Amino acid sequence: MSGILFHKYGGEDLDSYYPIRPECQADVPKAGKTLSARRWHAAFSEDGHLDIAKVLRRIQRGGIHPSIKGLVWEFLLGCYDPNSTFEERNQIRQQRRQQYAAWKTECQNIVPIIGSGKFITAAIVTDDGQSLQDSNRDSLDQGWHVDGTISDKKVLQWMLGLHQIGLDVVRTDRSLVFYESETNQAKLWDVLAIYSWVDNDIGYVQGMNDICSPMIVLLENEADAFWCFEHTMRRLRENFRTNTGMIGVQSQLSTLSQIIRTIDPKLHQHLEDLDGGEYLFAFRMLMVLFRREFSFVDALYLWELMWAMEYNPNIFSLYESNSSTSDGRQVNDKQLKQCGKFERKNVKTGQPDKTSALSVFLVASVLETKNKKLLREAKGLDDVVKILADITGNLDAKKACNEALKIQKKYLSKSKK
């Protein structure tokens, strides 16, 4: 289907890692030199300190071998500090698993189907808090509801969204054999349901299922998958904020507009003339990080390239302190060597703005590759959408990331003038 990863990783068939249903199979292209399990284990000192700079170099060259993706992602996403020991990380892991278990118990006390290996796709409560449990007797424990109505606003809001999560889970990554199992679908539902309970400010929004699904596939322990997803959402959660008009994505679209205006004024003007100056056609790409533009395997490859390029060694301490200030990203010379290519440039030029994520420059690189076609053939916004839809399955992730780095360099240099 696309041109990025090889169907074999050093002689191993990718299907043994992410089996695809026969009717959905297609050739998967070439990835170059991946970070192998052997190189990964060799990057740790005896007590567990990780040489993250060496690991990043390898990932930026060719991604991560499927057998260790989940483990490496935990570091890329800031779940663990590379300067910690095996023992320190084990303690953190146990604490997090206990915390997840406590949240899960809270949720089970309200909706006992959580953790049962099953999930719901029909509403269990009305908007005004009336129980619909009588129509769900087969799937719901009768003890979850008290006095016929729900008075707690947080509980009601959470319960109202549970069936929507179920409907989305059923549609998630249907090409994977993994999700033929109801137990695995239920695991995805549990993690999303518990996340929406914990982060009741954002709750659950469609698209989160696409972000969470790979973590469920890659990490066997449900709590570990939850924390990997939770750390991913720290980067992306503003994309899903609905009560202020999708502020996260909108600010990124605004940055995208600024980038194209700076590096390619002619294309920007053309898009403006087509009433596309707000770049809403790029909304989905940014919201769920190109999940819909790539196959499952290719999306994973793209994500880890991006995360490696955006990596900052202070990400763990920044998250642990819950600080949102840019100071946490400040690095000394030694730490600068532990930054990914994209982040290193940001640090050097003092660009802490979260809206200038690599994904924004990646969309800019896609627009630039379609520059001539857009200028020549796009007579309206429908044409723009159609031209960009052609990238599905035809985009080389590594090439696109490298182009994004070039655009970042060009943009920073022109912005200074």
The answer, yes or no, to whether residue 4 has pLDDT greater than 90, is no
At residue 9, what are phi and psi to the nearest 5 degrees? -110, 100
The answer, yes or no, to whether residue 30 has pLDDT greater than 50, is no
Buried b (16+ CB within 10 A) or exposed e, 11-28: eeebeebbebeeeeeeeb
Distance CA 7, CA 181 (A): 24
Mean pLDDT of 261-269: 95
Distance CA 21, CA 7 (A): 15
pLDDT bucket at 301, cuts 50 / 70 / 90: very high
Distance CA 119, CA 187 (A): 9
The answer, yes or no, to whether residue 7 has pLDDT greater than 70, is no
Which one is predicted more confidently, 335 or 268?
268
Distance CA 33, CA 27 (A): 19
What pLDDT, on the 0 to 100 scale, is given for residue 15? 52
What pLDDT, on the 0 to 100 scale, is given for residue 407? 95
Is residue 146 a contact partner of residue 187, using CB atoms and an 8 Å limit? Answer: no
pLDDT bucket at 28, cuts 50 / 70 / 90: very low
Average pLDDT, the chain: 85
Our CA angle for 210, 398, 330, nearest 5°, is: 80
Distance CA 277, CA 293 (A): 22
What pLDDT, on the 0 to 100 scale, is given for residue 5? 35
Q: What is the pLDDT of residues 36-81, one digit of tens each?
A: 999 999 999 999 999 999 999 999 999 999 999 999 999 999 999 9
What pLDDT, on the 0 to 100 scale, is given for residue 159? 93
Give Cβ neighbours of residue 299 (< 8 Å, ≥ 6 apart): 214, 289, 290, 291, 293
pLDDT bucket at 21, cuts 50 / 70 / 90: low
pLDDT bucket at 349, cuts 50 / 70 / 90: confident
Q: What is the pLDDT of residues 115-150, one digit of tens each?
A: 999 999 999 888 887 877 654 434 344 334 445 566
| Least confident segment among 110-119, 293-302, 304-313 | 293-302
Buried b (16+ CB within 10 A) or exposed e, 89-127: beebbeebbeebeebbeebbebbebbbeebbbeebbbee
What pLDDT, on the 0 to 100 scale, is given for residue 84? 96
pLDDT bucket at 2, cuts 50 / 70 / 90: very low
What pLDDT, on the 0 to 100 scale, is given for residue 93? 98
What pLDDT, on the 0 to 100 scale, is given for residue 351? 65
Which one is predicted more confidently, 147 or 403?
403
The structure tokens listed for 152 are 């707690």
Is residue 112 a contact partner of residue 143, using CB atoms and an 8 Å limit? Answer: yes
Give Cβ neighbours of residue 321 (< 8 Å, ≥ 6 apart): 328
With pLDDT > 90 as the criterion, what percentage of the chain qualifies?
59
Residue type, 28: V
What pLDDT, on the 0 to 100 scale, is given for residue 313? 92
